[in-house]
């Protein structure tokens, strides 16, 4: 049984019925839910929660029986900081969100594949992460 870390972009595509990404994202969630466990972490939960008014709405969008909640390991937090530092030293903008680095590091440290449609920073800074993207 495989555990897949699901990026907030995929969940939001389904929740908002995004005209471009809904079909792909919903198909991938269905496919991987049938193959194993879908997983989120506190960062993903937070990013998804922005579109809701109440915690109960977020829970309905991310039911625990479909999305297993996992903490981010301390080793992943350390790795995220180092990757973000490399990004900044390489000229990356300060306004770019650090959450992508937390999510990528979580996938890297736990060896979980990451279901995402925006793999740029993860593939650049966490090359060991198996990515499930529209192009793969």
What is the structure's pLDDT at 95? 61
Q: Residue 136 pLDDT > 80, yes or no?
A: no
- Dist. CA 6–CA 69, nearest whole Å: 11
Q: Work out the pLDDT band at 42, boundaries 50, 70, 90.
A: very high
% of the chain residues with pLDDT over 70: 96
What is the structure's pLDDT at 121? 80
What does each C-alpha distance from 33 to 5, 6, 29, 38, 77 come to in angstroms?
11, 11, 6, 6, 26
Which residue did the predictor score with more confidence, 89 or 22?
Answer: 22
What is the structure's pLDDT at 91? 85
- Where do the H-state alpha helices sit in 22-119? 22-35, 42-49, 55-61, 74-89, 99-110
Q: Whole-model pTM?
A: 0.91
């Amino acid at each position: 049984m495989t555990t897949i870390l699901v990026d907030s972009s995929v969940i939001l595509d389904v929740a908002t019925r995004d005209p471009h990404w809904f079909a792909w994202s919903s198909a991938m969630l269905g496919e991987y839910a049938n193959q194993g466990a879908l997983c989120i972490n506190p960062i993903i939960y937070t990013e998804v929660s922005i579109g809701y008014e109440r915690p109960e709405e977020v829970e309905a969008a991310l039911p625990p029986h479909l999305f297993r909640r996992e903490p981010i390991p301390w080793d992943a937090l350390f790795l995220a900081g180092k990757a973000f530092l490399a990004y900044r030293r390489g000229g990356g903008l300060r306004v770019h969100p650090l959450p992508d680095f937390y999510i990528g590091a979580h996938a890297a440290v736990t060896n979980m594949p990451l279901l995402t449609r925006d793999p740029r920073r993860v593939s650049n800074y966490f090359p060991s992460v198996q990515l499930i993207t529209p192009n793969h």
